[in-house]
Amino acid sequence: MIGRRWYTPWLFLAPSLLLLGVFLWWPVLNTTALAFTDTHTLRGGGFTGLDNLRRIMSDSFFWNALRNSLFFTIIVVPALTVLPLLLAILASAKLKGMTFFRVVFFSPVVASMVVAALIWGWMLRSDGLLNFVLERIGIINEPVRWLSDPSLVMISVAVVTIWKGLGYYMVIYIAGLQNIPKDLYEAAELDGAGPIRRFWSVTVPLIRPTMFLVGTLTALNAIKVFTEAFVLTGGGPNRASETLVLYIYQRGFSGLELGYASAMSLVLFVVVLGLTLIAQIWTRRRANP
Amino acid sequence: MSAIPTTPPVDPVEAGSDPRRGATVDPSANQRARHRRVLGVAGRYVLLILVLFISVGPFLWQISTSLKGPEENIFAFPPTLIPESPTLNNYLAVMDSLPLGTYLLNSAYVSIGAVIGNCLFGAMAGYALARMRFRGREGLFAMMIATLVIPFEVIMISVFLVTRDLGLINTLTGALLPVALTVLSIFIMRQAFVSLHPEIEEAARVDGAGEWQLFWKVAMPSARGSLAVVAIFSFMAAWDDFLWPLIVLRDASKFTLTVGLVFLDGQFSADQRLIAAGTIIAIIPVLALFIALQKQFFRGVGQAAVKG
């Protein structure tokens, strides 16, 4: 460390500090400040204390949106924690053509979420392909209104998210499975353990840290759901798929209520923080017993 | 599809060479065990092909729709996967009515900009944090950790306001700058440089290399793996991004591909054939990139999980 001038580190840091300062740190401070104002894009605004918080408490659309996002998270997290693990085990077999299968399973990941939502929007129509296939194999008797039935629409949105996410988390699990020592499986087999027994006694305990990681990642992504709902339904029918970020977006950019939208953003942050804390506590307690 | 063997070969490791069983059990039981193995392998392939259809089916249906002519009923019941008279007219029509080429270039601009920004600036900052001692380093690092968990969605209103004040609304630069660097990239690069051997650096220093040369010629090449991770993640994130471009871009000529496709969906909601053609055009470049770099993609996603 000889011969270095005092400002050398800051030269290396300068572009980052500039970008993070302008597009991360300042917005964080500004969001916090705006949350306590009634700022409006056109007429400006001033400090209003906790008025926004009071308004949130009595805003039934807000609670509807929060409920939709939480419901979505509750569907997506278990599905994207378990299904990709099973898929990873399937795709870890030393069989011919496995690279081909992995590439195909991953392909929905590289198609953007907008593309995934447009493709599924076409299939999820009442007269769409999915209803036809399900009717043909006898699962349903009459067309399901995937996108227009308020009690189903959030599940349909989740289906798209799960379809697009499967391959991504599969790759994470494949990396995790490779770290499990082979001789553990051989020892279990010697002891007469069948494939299911081996899964529960060897794979699950050793893959558990990865499962907690995937669970945390999926939860933090799911609570921010926007694109799928925006493209598939625009939040409809009758706000049945309006998610929290969608509602904040509409209040902020269509309603021009920057102050109120910022206050709701802070609530979103508290929810994210809460999920992070739950995940950490849970991971610490259960992941490495 | 032709890559799937019709008669799956038995895994040589699993089958046959099992002295523990073969020695003590009679031949017929041995044969039964082999039968079970073959069935197991066949079962695996059945499951794999089933998942294959779930992954690929939606794409195939989209391709099929995009190839159907105006006289063919796309709502036909039962649906037809193979178009009666395949036509590329929908592709020509969608290219004609929408500047999809421009959207592709706009998306490429933002995505490549994000890759360069995250790799270069992330590495520079990560290098300073990992290899240099200076006053305020711990505090700066703590501030980065503290803001790592803040999602873009929480601050999007204020990011919009800053971008507006900078006069960057409705510009591609405005679409790029907020995604040009993430704290996560700095973290990954810092991790890579922390584990660098000091001896190599010292040797280069004795040879008279300056700080920038040390960084560029010694540290960067040894962090190639982490750079690939950062590059792939920032590319996928920027290419996939919809919310921010939707907020910041106004004119149809400035749209990235994701915003352009949704705009197309609104414009042509009557003709699904055109939307299908548009989505297929949108998928092809990034799918080609993925297939060309599949090993890096898989290694990147796997490594990121281990590092996280």
pLDDT in tens, B58-67: 999 999 998 9
Q: Based on the domain organization, do B116 and B27 belong to the same domain?
A: no
The CATH number covering residue A261 comes to: 1.10.3720.10
Judge whether B299 lies within some domain: yes
Closest-CA residue to B238 (of B134, B111, B153, B131)? B111
Measured in angstroms, the CA of B149 and the nearest CA of chain A are apart by: 8
DSSP, res A287 = I
Please state the φ and ψ torsions of residue A44, each to the nearest 5 degrees: 70, -150
- Domain range for B259 is 93-307
Judge whether A17 lies within some domain: no
Query: What band does B305 get if pLDDT is binned at 50, 70 and 90?
Result: low
Judge whether A30 lies within some domain: no
State how many domains chain B has: 2
Stated pTM of the model: 0.88
- Domain range for A218 is 45-287
Predicted confidence (pLDDT) per residue in B202-259, tens digit: 888 888 888 888 899 889 998 988 999 899 889 989 999 999 999 999 998 899 999 9
State how many domains chain A has: 1
Say what the pLDDT of residue B42 is. 87
Judge whether A170 lies within some domain: yes
Q: Based on the domain organization, do B139 and B33 belong to the same domain?
A: no
Judge whether A12 lies within some domain: no
The CATH number covering residue B130 comes to: 1.10.3720.10
Listed in sequence order, the residues at least 6 apart from B129 whose beta carbon sits closer than 8 Å to its beta carbon are A13, B137, B140, B141, B186, B190
A186: buried, middle or exposed (CB in 10 Å: 19+, 13-18, 0-12)? Answer: exposed
Say what the pLDDT of residue B27 is. 65
Contacts of B289 in chain A (CB under 8 A): 110
Q: Based on the domain organization, do B165 and B266 belong to the same domain?
A: yes
The verdict on a CB contact (< 8 Å) between B52 and A26 is no
> Is the pLDDT score of B180 beyond 90?
yes
Judge whether B10 lies within some domain: no
Nearest to A107 among B133, B144, B287 (CB): B287
Predicted confidence (pLDDT) per residue in B14-58, tens digit: 444 444 444 455 667 778 778 877 888 888 899 999 999 999 999
Judge whether A19 lies within some domain: no
Counting as low any pLDDT under 70, the low residues of chain A are 1-4, 287-289
The verdict on a CB contact (< 8 Å) between B132 and A9 is yes
Say what the pLDDT of residue B25 is. 53
Q: Based on the domain organization, do B55 and B159 belong to the same domain?
A: no
Our separate counts of H helices and E strands in chain B read 16, 0
DSSP string, A216-282: HHHHHHHTT--HHHHHHTTT-STTTT--HHHHHHIIIIIS--HHHHHHHHHHHHHHHHHHHHHHHHH
Please state the φ and ψ torsions of residue A40, each to the nearest 5 degrees: -125, 140
Closest-CA residue to B68 (of B50, B51, B87)? B87
> What is the rounded CA–CA span in Å between residue B274 and residue B96?
11
Judge whether A26 lies within some domain: no
Judge whether A137 lies within some domain: yes
Q: Based on the domain organization, do B152 and B260 belong to the same domain?
A: yes
Q: Based on the domain organization, do B192 and B263 belong to the same domain?
A: yes
Judge whether B119 lies within some domain: yes
Q: Give contacts of A 2-21 with B, CB under 8 A.
A: 4, 6, 8-10, 12-13, 15-17, 19-20
Say what the pLDDT of residue B26 is. 61
> What is the rounded CA–CA span in Å between residue B37 and residue B159?
58
Judge whether B148 lies within some domain: yes
Measured in angstroms, the CA of A167 and the nearest CA of chain B are apart by: 9
Measured in angstroms, the CA of B254 and the nearest CA of chain A are apart by: 17
Q: Based on the domain organization, do B134 and B237 belong to the same domain?
A: yes
Average pLDDT, chain B: 84
A44: buried, middle or exposed (CB in 10 Å: 19+, 13-18, 0-12)? Answer: exposed
Of all residues in chain A, the one with the smallest CA distance to B212 is: A12
Q: Based on the domain organization, do B51 and B122 belong to the same domain?
A: no
